[in-house]
Amino acid sequence: MAGMLQEQTKIRRDAWLISVTMLALFLVVWHLSTLRAAFDPKGFTEDQLQMMEFNGDILRMAEGGYAWNPEKEKVKGVPGPLAVLGKIRSELSEAFVKKGTNDHGIAYLVLYTVTRFGAGFLVASVVAIILGVLLGLNKVLFQAVNPFIQILKPISPLAWMPLLLYTVKDPKWTAVLVVFMAAIWPTLATTAFGVNSLRKDYLHVAAILQLSWFKRLFKVILPGAAPTIVNGLRISFGSALVAVVPAEMLLGELGVGYLSWIEWNNLDIAGVIFAILVVGVVGVVLDSGFNKLAGLVTYQE
Amino acid sequence: MAFLEIDHVTKYFPSSSGNGQVCIFKDATIKIDKGEFVTTIGHSGCGKSTLLNIIAGLETMSEGAILLNGREVSGPGLDRMVVFQNFSLMPWMTVFENIRLAVRAAYPDWDREKIAAHVHKYIELVGLKGAEDKRPTALSGGMKQRVGLARAFSIEPKVLLLDEPFAQIDALTRGVIQEELVQMWNSTRNTVFMVTHDVDEAILLSDRIMLMTNGPSARIAEIVDVTIPRPRSRDSIIEHPHYYKIRNHIIHFLVRHVSHGAVGGVAELEQPMDAVPLVVRF
């Protein structure tokens, strides 16, 4: 026991060391490959230098000599890690500031995205579980509905967007509905499967004990199918998270996905990288929350 | 009047080729008295578990009837509780919750405390005190079936149906639980219908043992009266002069019916299909 525990600790420590080394290596390589030498006026004529200054490529320093124009540098090549760090610092310092109707701090953007994602995912899950239980309990209904599920399932949720936008005429609700469309199919399909393939023994016990319809559903069927349902929810969760970013981009709804697009329009590449990192962090936090909830309802046979 | 009457029960399954039917067993008939312990032995495929499921109401019969207390029963009910071969405990519930589910269903007007006390009484009876909050995964096969027995006895059913209850339990534990079952049954004296492969188990527990021929079209060929007096225990029963007579008789029967070929044909010549079961008394 102690030996195994020790080995576990060793594996964890080694893995952690490797992770840190990989990150450090990546940052160093990134930094070096995006480094630009200071401006060297040697080899340029005075006319050329004046033209470059006129174009805004370089600045004349107060103490004489020239340097690259930092504003222009922003859009030359990929920004280095230090530039991104600076961006992160400035964005986080203004996390709770609303500068204008389209320029909200990052905390607000995260809140908007999480709300949008949460609403779409929750409603889709409830609808999918109810429908899935009905289909799982009724073989005829299942076979009747299955062809439609098979056709609708592979459609990218974004493909629905124009139609949804045209129908509901409101980008805010369209974004939620895109998340809904992304999240409903996996949960629906696995719930129907999980309920349908629930071990007959459990239903036999429920039948002998003459459990009411309600008790049968909440004491036997749902908890029995819970591990399968959770697997479906996990897939739905992932695809909803993937769908929410482009939905925001295309609909221009404020959120972390929209942030990435706005920064691109501003040609602020450091801002784009910052937005990508935020999407990643939001995903990790939501995912670990989901796993905690999933652990409560799953069981081992 | 018999307490539990199995009256010419016949079961057909659709044949695997698609059209037509296969007769699993035919005209199973036996009258079981209140408090009697009856066991069925036969080779795999003779339909003995199907017969048990029909009595439980979990499967339908093709012909015949099951009468309990003179009334025909259809569908499952709390008066006929099954102890399953694979335990059939809900893996998401603790030991306590598994039994409570049954007790609540059987006594809907009891309050919380009364239900809990009843559950604890039966947990203690099967020696699982301290394991109340464990889930079935954390239990050995023997302990799981103790929970199954506690669940079945706790609702005090009129008929207890044991479907190869100890088949998945290791031999040493099996003997111990068999003895525990004898003790529990001695205090409750439920009417029991058991299905098993284990000849020693059948003799230890039963008043009568039904011997079934092989399927398809299996039937009850013999009913063995076990007259060895109770209380019985595994140690003392083998000392009884009739023990090995009964055991040998049953094993000879099973060996004779081991194949569907010529030997079975001979057996059928001895006893035509419509014969009433031979009653053998030791």
Interface residue ranges in chain A relative to chain B, Cβ cutoff 8 Å: 201-202, 204-205, 207-211, 215, 219-220, 223-224, 226, 299-301
The closest CB to that of B90, out of A202, A208, A300, belongs to A202
Look-up of token digits 């099996």: B174
Choosing among A201, A202, A208, which should be mutated to test the B contact, i.e. which has the most B CBs within 10 A? Answer: A208
Which tokens in the block code for residue A4? 């195994």
Q: Mutual orientation of helices B141-154 and B112-125 as an angle, nearest 10°?
A: 130
Q: Among all residues of chain B, which has the CA nearest to that of A212? A: B105
**Angstrom distances, CA of residue A293 to CA of A230, A289, B97:** 9, 7, 21
Give yes or no for residue B266 having a pLDDT over 80.
no
Q: In angstroms, rounded to a whole number, what is the distance separating the alpha carbons of residues A92 and A277? A: 13
Q: What DSSP designation does A78 have?
A: P
CB contact under 8 Å between A208 and B56, yes or no, is yes
Nearest to B152 by CA among A204, A199, A198, A218: A204
Q: In angstroms, what separates the C-alpha of B53 from chain A's closest C-alpha?
A: 10
Q: In angstroms, what separates the C-alpha of A205 from chain B's closest C-alpha?
A: 7
CA atoms within a 13 Å half-sphere pointing along the CA-CB vector of A274? 26
CB contact under 8 Å between A208 and B137, yes or no, is no
Q: In angstroms, rounded to a whole number, what is the distance separating the alpha carbons of residues A287 and B270? A: 72
Question: Per-residue pLDDT tens for B118-175?
Answer: 999 999 999 999 999 999 999 999 999 999 999 999 999 999 999 999 998 888 889 8
Choosing among B88, B107, B159, which should be mutated to test the A contact, i.e. which has the most A CBs within 10 A? Answer: B88
Q: In angstroms, rounded to a whole number, what is the distance separating the alpha carbons of residues A13 and A15? A: 5
**What ipTM was estimated for this complex?**
0.88
Q: How many CB atoms lie within 10 A of CB B131?
A: 18
Q: B162, exposed or middle or buried, with CB in 10 Å at 0-12, 13-18, 19+?
A: buried
Mean pLDDT across B113-121: 96
Q: In angstroms, rounded to a whole number, what is the distance separating the alpha carbons of residues A145 and A133? A: 13
Nearest to B82 by CA among A220, A200, A219: A200
Which tokens in the block code for residue B222? 């013999």
Q: Tell me the sheet residues that pair with B218.
A: B25
pLDDT, position A111: 94
Q: In angstroms, rounded to a whole number, what is the distance separating the alpha carbons of residues A233 and A286? A: 13
The closest CB to that of A300, out of B91, B105, B155, belongs to B91
Q: Tell me the sheet residues that pair with B22.
A: B13
Between chain A and chain B, the number of residue pairs with CB atoms below 8 A apart is 57
Interface residue ranges in chain B relative to chain A, Cβ cutoff 8 Å: 56-58, 75-78, 80-82, 84, 86, 88, 90-93, 101-102, 105-106, 135, 137, 155
Q: Tell me the sheet residues that pair with B13.
A: B22
Question: Per-residue pLDDT tens for A14-69?
Answer: 999 999 999 999 999 999 988 877 788 788 888 888 888 888 888 888 777 888 88
pLDDT, position A53: 85
- Per-residue pLDDT 10s for chain A (301 aa) are 667 888 889 999 999 999 999 999 999 999 998 887 778 878 888 888 888 888 888 888 877 788 888 777 777 778 889 889 999 999 899 888 888 877 888 999 999 999 999 999 999 999 999 999 999 999 999 999 999 999 999 999 999 999 999 999 999 999 999 999 999 999 999 999 999 999 999 999 999 999 999 999 999 999 999 999 999 999 999 999 999 999 999 998 899 999 999 888 888 889 999 999 999 999 999 999 899 888 888 887 7
Domain annotation for chain A: domains and CATH numbers: 34-73 (no CATH), 98-297 (1.10.3720.10)
The closest CB to that of A208, out of B78, B93, B135, belongs to B78
Question: Per-residue pLDDT tens for B16-30?
Answer: 877 788 888 888 999
- Alpha carbon A115 to its chain's center: 13
- Contacts with B102 from chain A: Cβ below 8 Å: 209
